[in-house]
A and B are shown apart, each in its own frame.
Chain A
């Protein structure tokens, strides 16, 4: 018999059973998606199939590859015969999965030689490496490049070439595109699909992103708390989910609502909240809160921002979209004063700010970063962090409880340290800290990108509510069009340090004028095709 057959009897961890018994089969050239949030056991399941469980974890069961049986309990030494030969693992982060000190060619060549079991002549090896790079649509010169010289998408292609160098029968791809931006995500997944068909290779795709697997996998297994809650053909599960949890996952995914009405239609909110002079729909009516003109920023030889104009009205949510490296974060950091711009002017509330001038606007502008793990001081309690931020705005320390409530955290969180909180909870603390001095502008720099879809949805809802209640303007930076669509009034598209297109959210995302915006939107759609039956319920912006 051919194909992959897995019968897992369970995975035991230090804190008890982590994954319940489960089994699945994947035909040659077919693919199976394993879906679930972090902590659902999907990654443990994947690692058990290559014998790479973390210390303290034990798996039992069998893995059959084309009829050859491998026990999951076998020792590390015997795994080596399976790993890389029968089964290969492709990791999430192309920034860390390649060795930074070696060129890309050798990293593919190692596996080629390991598979051959002998040293290959240099000429033969070079030719083979070039062929493997060509297979993943990379030029042969990439072999001589170090990973840091390549973009994220190119690195992941190199990682794919390295993973496939041993011609495995099963490729396990663990969130292979999470670290990439939208247009790269689609390309990488399509490439994997293509390679699979050429090689007749089975693939196990692990993802937390339901939208991503649509049209790219044959079957789906939805996991929660170590158990399979739903399984079936991908199209069936996504269009007619049976389990409550699958339904919740689909409902929480902004990507599946890409064609939903944009929330800017509710621009009456701004007026309703007493900020009528700065209606979100027509920013020129009043002096903008932030008025940036011709902002230039260079890092050495490289021009990251080449003269960018941006206005943010009071109480407005402005989305800035673009691929990684487009300069969108740098723009936000210049406005925040964390980088010194080399040219142009940035005015806040009518006053021009000199470059790198944070102290001029104490507490008026706050930023929420992408990574909730490093943006809180690990040695301080949540209470200390918030009290300090409150003091900056001249507010009493007694407001800590109220702040925690605003961001939906229990009052006892004040006594905890960041390490005791989950990623989503930490991001809420980061938002609470940013809100403490009552800022007039909140800069969210990829603030929801590192979070699970459900947490992401909650944070977006929170941000929308805060704008309603506090009238704070938000500069929302993201590479994810679907997320921006859910929250922004206007959208600015940035590409190579320049503004490509600017306008109301609905106009820019639904009827883009510029080629680049069209490409971005197309990539996002290709990536996450529209689902007719789940596009409207529960995903319009909170009123």
Chain B
């Protein structure tokens, strides 16, 4: 037994994965499983059953109890993972792609294009994320994917700026001049030569954005503008269960803890990944 544990430990050490990161990866893997299997395991999670409302945690058949409408908290939480996590991941990936495109163009081409892109990011940065989301939801009528699109836009300035700064720094290096001497196309220089060298920044920032977007989504759902009522969603659960906080605390605590846990795990994994990528390149 101890021998096999030792072997596992050595294996991890060899690849240099710290214990914290392993724990975070387990959390993320569980969250991923919930996203994929949630709808299969609990297809009727949002079905209301007034007869069994407000059961405390530990009740037979309902390990985490039920809410006011008689929905099983465990089923609701597992089924809510998809809504709570898919959006933030899309936001982070979307704003990362936007950031890579605009940031690289601005940093490499400089000139008027850089000016336009930079002023655009300044404008977006001046908007408070949540307020803008509330206003847009109010005017255009919310909806999940509208919120995703809006957050992609509002999250992109940090990506654009980070990519632009990284590209500016790399552009001055001799290896880029050497690539220019080979008359490589500007797209090849930008995306084949420069981009891999700023990837650690980009990926770290995208991971941070997942966490921020997760919290932003939950806040919006909590405020009632993100996800329509009746949907299984961690933020929505927080809103709906406020009134029963003392009847069945699990209804509030479980989704809240999950939001925090996933946000932390994504952050820590992002940090670690960023450091690994920087080290593998040799240039810092």
A378 near B281 with CB under 8 A, answer yes
A437 nearest CB neighbor, chain B only: B182
**A358-B180, A358-B181 given; A375·B282 CB < 8 A:** no
A392 near B182 with CB under 8 A, answer yes
B183 near A369 with CB under 8 A, answer no
**Interface window among B22-30, B133-141, B171-179:** B171-179
A379 near B184 with CB under 8 A, answer no
Q: Which residues of A contact B283 (CB under 8 A)?
A: 374, 378
Please tell me the number of chain B residues within 8 Å of chain A, measured between CB atoms. 19
State whether the Cβ of B193 lies closer than 8 Å to any Cβ in chain A: yes
Q: Which residues of A contact B (CB under 8 A)?
A: 336-338, 358-359, 361-363, 365-367, 369, 371, 374-380, 388-389, 392, 417-419, 430, 433-434, 437
A-B pairs with beta carbons under 8 Å apart, 26 shown:
A338-B181, A365-B181, A366-B182, A367-B177, A367-B181, A369-B174, A369-B177, A374-B173, A375-B173, A375-B174, A375-B178, A377-B179, A378-B175, A378-B197, A379-B196, A379-B197, A379-B199, A379-B281, A380-B196, A388-B184, A389-B182, A392-B182, A417-B282, A418-B282, A419-B282, A437-B182
**A359-B183, A419-B282 given; A369·B178 CB < 8 A:** yes
Q: Which one of B183, B196, B199 lies within 8 Å of A358 (CB-CB)?
A: B183
Residues of B147-178 contacting chain A, CB below 8 A: 173-175, 177-178
A367 nearest CB neighbor, chain B only: B181
B180 nearest CB neighbor, chain A only: A358
A417 nearest CB neighbor, chain B only: B282
Q: Which residues of B contact A392 (CB under 8 A)?
A: 182-184
**A378-B282, A417-B282 given; A433·B178 CB < 8 A:** yes
Q: Which one of A378, A380, A388, A419 lies within 8 Å of B182 (CB-CB)?
A: A388
Q: Which residues of A contact B180 (CB under 8 A)?
A: 338, 358
Looking at the assembled complex, report how far the CB atom of B56 sits from the nearest CB atom of chain A, in whole angstroms.
56
In the complex, A338→B182 CA distance in Å? 12
B282 near A366 with CB under 8 A, answer no
B282 nearest CB neighbor, chain A only: A419
A375 near B175 with CB under 8 A, answer yes
Q: Which residues of B contact A371 (CB under 8 A)?
A: 174
B197 near A377 with CB under 8 A, answer yes
In the complex, A34→B220 CA distance in Å? 68
Looking at the assembled complex, report how far the CB atom of B109 sits from the nearest CB atom of chain A, in whole angstroms.
14
B183 near A374 with CB under 8 A, answer no
Looking at the assembled complex, report how far the CB atom of B126 sits from the nearest CB atom of chain A, in whole angstroms.
32
Q: Which residues of A contact B181 (CB under 8 A)?
A: 336-338, 358, 365-367, 434
8 closest cross-chain pairs (CB), A and B: A419-B282, A362-B183, A375-B174, A379-B196, A378-B282, A369-B174, A378-B281, A378-B283
A338 near B177 with CB under 8 A, answer yes
In the complex, A379→B284 CA distance in Å? 11
In the complex, A33→B199 CA distance in Å? 45
In the complex, A374→B284 CA distance in Å? 11
Looking at the assembled complex, report how far the CB atom of A290 sits from the nearest CB atom of chain B, in whole angstroms.
15
A363 near B182 with CB under 8 A, answer yes
Looking at the assembled complex, report how far the CB atom of B192 sits from the nearest CB atom of chain A, in whole angstroms.
8
A365 nearest CB neighbor, chain B only: B181
Looking at the assembled complex, report how far the CB atom of B174 sits from the nearest CB atom of chain A, in whole angstroms.
4
In the complex, A366→B182 CA distance in Å? 7
Looking at the assembled complex, report how far the CB atom of A443 sits from the nearest CB atom of chain B, in whole angstroms.
9
A377 near B183 with CB under 8 A, answer no
